[in-house]
């Protein structure tokens, strides 16, 4: 596993050698996620990408296969192949975007000791060429109907166990198929490879199911492998239900048996971040489970699972501040409206039509020397220079008087009876 880049809390990015700025990290606050964006992807970008925080907490991985019209894609079944010793194994590698009959194929094996070795080359024309240490028991063929390469291993032996990879063009690899060799009647151990997420301080329970033997008649060993380290022995749980711990491991680690489904159980109480890693059950020396990954997450504060991220804290504070301002503004506008409604209510009853007024008009001439004219009612839209008395409906006294000296030319509607 090689490191791609580090994206720190202050949003700065540090790339490792051979990785360029095509690889860009982002944060999606809406889903509380990290995102790796790879632009202009190339065939050699194919692989499984893992996110990691705090140095020991890893994601379950996302596999990227670069699929384009210019580069082949190789697909292998990642399922565990359990083959009985001296039987024949067939491992399949399906190709897209190219034709198997027109392409050379290479096969490699990754042993349990994590050593990668070339197995053979099968040119598009010609016979299979084995590498030293691999005999003619290893043969390659092509299946045109499914556009697949097939690796056939005859009379399999325990030393044949490992993960087998197909490869074309020297830079494009399949996802790998794991091969386990068992003797007839020999136990087989299976573990769920699903990532186990356990919160710090809680209890983890890892299960290992056995076939071809009974758990109550067998000793079991538990190992752990952490990133960058070799496997280390944790404990042994024998048929007498006696546990022997390795130095450095305490009674927080306990093994038990579940006869109902013929399984061994490893229980880890009060889990800590340092407990993260892959856990393997094992019988004897050469029979092992496929491992279960344990990830330990920090317990978050109630209601605030992200308090360790300063960017999220600042964003939340700003959001809360804006929300408070909106609430205060809404309250102020509501108070203003309430005050305005109260003021209007003092000027007339709700049932009063405040647009209707009755006027008495004393028409005067602009020359004070002329005799006064009897009061008249002016026609609608007729304009005079007048003294106007405004009366509120239901009142005998004028409420407003527009005197001659202060009145203006106005349009006075005909008074209603």
Q: What span, in angstroms and rounded, lies between the C-alpha atoms of 131 and 304? A: 58
pLDDT tier at 233 (50, 70, 90 boundaries)? Answer: very high
Give the CATH architecture of domain 188-297: Sandwich (2.60)
Which spans in 16-111 are helix H? none
Q: What span, in angstroms and rounded, lies between the C-alpha atoms of 238 and 243? A: 7
pLDDT in the model for residue 127: 87
Question: Mapping DSSP to helix (H, G, I), strand (E, B) and coil, where does residue 39 land?
Answer: coil
Least confident of 176-180, 198-202, 234-238, 407-411: 407-411
pLDDT in the model for residue 154: 94
Q: What span, in angstroms and rounded, lies between the C-alpha atoms of 347 and 354? A: 9
pLDDT in the model for residue 396: 52
State the sign of the Cα–Cα–Cα–Cα dihedral 170, 181, 283, 272. positive
Average pLDDT over residues 81-102: 88
Burial tier of 266 (Cβ tally within 10 Å: 0-12, 13-18, 19+): buried
pLDDT in the model for residue 343: 62
Least confident of 137-146, 176-185, 229-238, 399-408: 399-408
Task: Report the percentage of the chain scoring pLDDT > 70.
Answer: 76
Q: What are phi and psi of 321, to 5 degrees?
A: -60, -45
pLDDT in the model for residue 253: 97
Q: What span, in angstroms and rounded, lies between the C-alpha atoms of 301 and 306? A: 8
Homologous superfamily, domain 73-182:
Immunoglobulins (2.60.40.10)
pLDDT in the model for residue 8: 81
pLDDT tier at 11 (50, 70, 90 boundaries)? Answer: confident
pLDDT tier at 188 (50, 70, 90 boundaries)? Answer: confident
Q: What are phi and psi of 220, to 5 degrees?
A: -130, 145
Mean of the per-residue pLDDT values for the chain? Answer: 79
Task: Report the percentage of the chain scoring pLDDT > 90.
Answer: 35
pLDDT in the model for residue 78: 58
Average pLDDT over residues 309-321: 77
Q: What are phi and psi of 273, to 5 degrees?
A: -55, -30
Q: Does residue 394 or residue 334 have the better pLDDT? A: 334
Tens-place pLDDT, residues 356-372:
444 444 444 444 444 44
CA dihedral of residues 210, 214, 216, 221 (deg, nearest 10): -40
- Residue found by looking up tokens 């203006």 in the block: 408
Domain regions of the chain by residue span: 5-64, 73-182, 188-297, 358-412
Same fold, 73-182 and 188-297: yes
Q: Does residue 300 or residue 171 have the better pLDDT? A: 171
Average pLDDT over residues 405-413: 44
Q: Does residue 318 or residue 237 have the better pLDDT? A: 237
pTM of the model: 0.40
pLDDT tier at 16 (50, 70, 90 boundaries)? Answer: confident
């Amino acid at each position: 596993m090689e490191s791609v880049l580090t994206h720190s809390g202050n949003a700065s990015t540090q790339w490792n050698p051979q990785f360029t700025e095509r690889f860009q990290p982002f944060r999606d606050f809406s889903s509380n996620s990290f995102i790796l964006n790879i632009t202009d992807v190339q065939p050699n970008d194919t692989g499984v990408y893992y996110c990691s925080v705090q140095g020991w907490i890893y994601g379950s991985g996302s596999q990227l296969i670069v699929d384009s019209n210019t580069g082949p894609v190789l697909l292998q079944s990642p399922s565990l192949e359990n083959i009985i010793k001296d039987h024949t194994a067939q491992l399949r590698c399906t190709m897209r975007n190219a034709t198997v009959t027109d392409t050379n194929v290479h096969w490699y094996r990754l042993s349990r000791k994590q050593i990668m070795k070339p197995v053979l080359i099968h040119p598009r024309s010609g016979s299979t060429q084995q590498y030293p240490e691999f005999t003619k028991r290893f043969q390659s063929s092509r299946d045109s109907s499914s556009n697949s390469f097939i690796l056939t291993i005859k009379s399999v032996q325990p030393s044949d166990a490992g993960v087998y990879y197909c490869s074309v063009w020297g830079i494009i690899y399949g996802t790998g198929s794991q091969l386990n060799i068992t003797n007839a009647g020999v136990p087989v151990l299976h573990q769920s490879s699903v990532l186990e997420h356990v919160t710090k301080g809680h209890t983890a329970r890892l299960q290992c199911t056995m076939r071809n033997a009974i758990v109550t008649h067998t000793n079991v060993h538990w190992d752990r492998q952490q990133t960058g380290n070799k496997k280390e022995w944790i404990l042994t749980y024998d048929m007498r239900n006696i546990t022997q711990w390795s130095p450095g491991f305490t009674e927080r680690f306990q093994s038990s048996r579940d006869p109902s489904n013929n399984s061994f159980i490893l229980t880890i109480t009060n889990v800590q971040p340092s407990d993260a890693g892959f856990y393997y059950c094992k019988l004897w020396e050469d029979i092992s489970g496929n491992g279960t990954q344990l990830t330990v997450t920090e317990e978050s504060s109630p209601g605030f699972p992200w308090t360790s991220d300063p960017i999220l804290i600042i964003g939340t504070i700003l959001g809360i501040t804006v929300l408070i301002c909106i609430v205060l503004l809404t309250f102020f506008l509501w108070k203003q409206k309430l005050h305005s409604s109260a003021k209007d209510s003092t000027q007339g009853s709700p049932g009063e039509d405040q647009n209707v007024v009755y006027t008495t008009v004393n028409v005067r001439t602009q020359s004070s020397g002329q005799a006064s004219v009897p009061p008249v009612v002016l026609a609608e839209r007729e304009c005079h220079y007048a003294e106007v008395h405004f009366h509120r409906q239901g009142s005998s006294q004028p409420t407003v008087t527009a005197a001659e000296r202060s009145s203006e030319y106005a349009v006075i509607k005909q008074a209603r009876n």
